[in-house]
Amino acid sequence: MNVLIVDDDFATVDVIKNNIVWSDMGIDGVFTAYNVSGAKRLIAQNNIDIIISDIEMPQESGLDLLKWVREKNFDCEFLFLTCHESFSYAADAIQYNASAYLTKPFNMDIMKLNLQKIVNKITEKRNLQRSSEYGKWLEKNQRFVKLDFWKQLLEGNYKDKTEIINDLKERHLSINTEHLYTIIYIKLSNIEEDIEKYQKSVFDFVIENAISEIISGKSENDSVVKFHATDNYVHYFVISEDNDCESLKFKCNKLINTYKDKFSSVITCCISNQCKISEIPQFRQKLEQLMYYNIGVNNCVVFENEIKIPDKNEIQILDISKLASYVTEMNKSLILNYLKQTFNELSLNNRLHTYSLYLIKQEITQVVFADLMQKGIQATKLFHEDYYIKLSDRALESTVDMIRWVNYLLEKTFEYEKEIKKSSNLISKINQYIHEHYHEDIGRNQIAAEFYLTPEYLAKVYKKKTGISLKNYINEYRIERAKELLLTSDKSISDIAEAVGFDNFSYFSTLFKKVTGLSPKEFKDNHNL
């Protein structure tokens, strides 16, 4: 399979291209274009299977590209990116059979999940085309065929009602296309502990069966669609013919109560307004967006019209001066208690949502990183490991995830600040590093990066504690090693200079004489007498 990335933002193209292991998805070739005209040329010249495209671009849009591809009958799946959150864009994309729709800034894990779904879809389609036994398989697997139909519908893979009806005929499914449906969005979050306790396959089986029996009233799952899943959350959609709001609310509460008795993770249900079968993709997207923003909705049942998109005019949540004083004091418990108190206040005022968590995260990062910079520590280098990135990416999913991220951020910050304060220990580690790497191209920038310090701070503290500049110590140590080699090896003087880290022989000779009072040759000759 081949994928084409189309975006007028060079950085976005690079991020997508370089942060996905394409071979793991079965993708062989990755093409890039920065406008629609360039994309058209590549599509015409290559066998492109998947197109990841921005919607808004100069001259022609991503939707223009989608329309052109469909008109030319190129068999490509589309994943759209856009800074706009308007559902009109999504509706247009769905109309022309786009596979997925993500808003910027996008989560790379969600991007990968959507791409994997698209790859699986293409693979399944090709496998079915190759199979001459499809008719027999269809007879025996009607439930799975129905489930797949709902999944394709939720993903927006039908252009219009006519296409839905035609596909139902091909699948031999008797689903009423004139009926009004209700969608139930079921969100399970913080599932790691349960996954570890029960194993993923058992957990999935129990959950899906509980949803089928309690919500749908069926032992077999034919309308419960597992949509998004990571190691921290899983989302399901139930397409229900029951439009009795109170009845659905009762069933959802029963599911939550049953779930709470067996599992420690959080379950939330959101019930949509009634919709036509062709409107299901748009309603699914709306429910996802509502639940994405409203973090404070947990372990309860809500209706679509009860939750709102947050007001993004809010620019600050935390008291920055108070937070900064807590950080300066290195008082983790005060910070965490202040954060929990803030969450409670936001929840009481119906202001606890993804955007408020986003502001809190920005404010905490700003204060902590400023504190580290003041102490000469390079925060971006200190927090680069995979575990921190994982916690950081999850921080907006729930208040629990936010607390986990903050706790780790503070622990690592305060621990390293305490270590830096023990300057004698730091100097010892720096010297050890020099002794192990003196033969390499090292200077204050490289050493500072190794210890997550700014070069200026490193040079200052080293000179203050040792009485010698870092550069001079490195050079003197190299000269000592050179003296040893001159006395114990048969290497040429130029080879010895290179071996101890000097790439300029003239500079080595000058420095050697400055330190020892002799040229390298004079030193060697004098000791060989």
Mean pLDDT score, 27-50: 89
pLDDT digits (tens, 9 = 90+) for 76-86: 898 888 775 54
Q: Are 265 and 189 in contact (CB under 8 A)?
A: yes
**Buried b vs exposed e over 276-312: b needs ≥16 C-beta within 10 Å?**
ebbbbbbbbbbbbbbbbbbbbbbeebbebeebeebee
DSSP code, position 48: -
List phi, psi (to 5°) of 34: -115, 10
What is the number of other CB atoms lying within 10 angstroms of the CB of residue 338?
Answer: 16
**Buried b vs exposed e over 102-129: b needs ≥16 C-beta within 10 Å?**
ebeebeeeebbbbbebbbebbeeeeeee
Q: Characterise 192 by phi-psi region: left (phi > 0), alpha (psi -120 to 50), beta (else).
A: alpha
pLDDT digits (tens, 9 = 90+) for 56-111: 888 888 888 988 988 888 888 988 887 755 445 555 555 556 777 777 788 888 88
Q: Report residue 377's pLDDT band, with 50, 70 and 90 as the boundaries.
A: confident
**Buried b vs exposed e over 497-521: b needs ≥16 C-beta within 10 Å?**
bbbbbbeeeeebbebbeebeeeebe
DSSP code, position 107: P
pLDDT digits (tens, 9 = 90+) for 379-410: 666 777 788 888 888 888 788 889 999 999 99
The span from the CA of 48 to the CA of 61, in Å, is: 19
Pairing mode of beta strands 266-271, 50-54: unpaired
pLDDT, residue 326, reads 92
The span from the CA of 77 to the CA of 415, in Å, is: 49
Mean pLDDT score, 320-337: 91
User: Percentage of the chain surpassing pLDDT 70?
Assistant: 90
The span from the CA of 373 to the CA of 458, in Å, is: 12
Q: Are 101 and 28 in contact (CB under 8 A)?
A: no
| CA distances (Å), origin 60, targets 32, 39, 57, 101 | 16, 11, 6, 18
Q: What is the DSSP string of 396-462?
A: TT-HHHHHHHHHHHHHHHHHHHHHHH-HHHHHHHHHHHHHHHTTS---HHHHHHHTTB-HHHHHHHH
Query: What's the CA angle centered on 22, arms 17 and 26, to 5 degrees?
Result: 150
Identify the residue with better confidence: 422 or 203. Answer: 203
Q: Which candidate, 460, 464, 497, 456, places its Cα nearest to that of 479?
A: 497
Identify the residue with better confidence: 139 or 518. Answer: 518
Q: Report cis status (omega within 30 of 0) of the bond before 105.
A: yes
The span from the CA of 123 to the CA of 50, in Å, is: 12
**Buried b vs exposed e over 357-387: b needs ≥16 C-beta within 10 Å?**
bbbbbebbbebbbebbeeebbbbeebbeeee
Q: Are 121 and 97 in contact (CB under 8 A)?
A: no
pLDDT, residue 89, reads 57
Identify the residue with better confidence: 220 or 137. Answer: 220
3-state secondary structure of 203: helix
Strand partners, 225: 237
The span from the CA of 190 to the CA of 231, in Å, is: 9
Identify the residue with better confidence: 384 or 366. Answer: 366
pLDDT, residue 238, reads 93
pLDDT, residue 95, reads 59
Q: Residue 195: is it exposed, middle or buried by C-beta count within 10 angstroms (0-12/13-18/19+)?
A: middle
**The 3-state secondary structure of 509-524, one letter per residue:** HHHHHHHHCCCHHHHH
Q: Are 2 and 49 in contact (CB under 8 A)?
A: yes
3-state secondary structure of 5: strand
List phi, psi (to 5°) of 303: -100, 155
pLDDT digits (tens, 9 = 90+) for 432-489: 889 999 989 898 888 888 887 888 878 887 887 777 888 888 998 999 899 989 988 8
The span from the CA of 159 to the CA of 224, in Å, is: 22
Q: Are 235 and 227 in contact (CB under 8 A)?
A: yes
How far apart are the two ends of the chain, measured CA to CA in Å?
Answer: 73
Can you list the positions of beta strands (E) in 222-325?
Answer: 224-229, 233-240, 266-271, 301-303
pTM above 0.85, yes or no: no
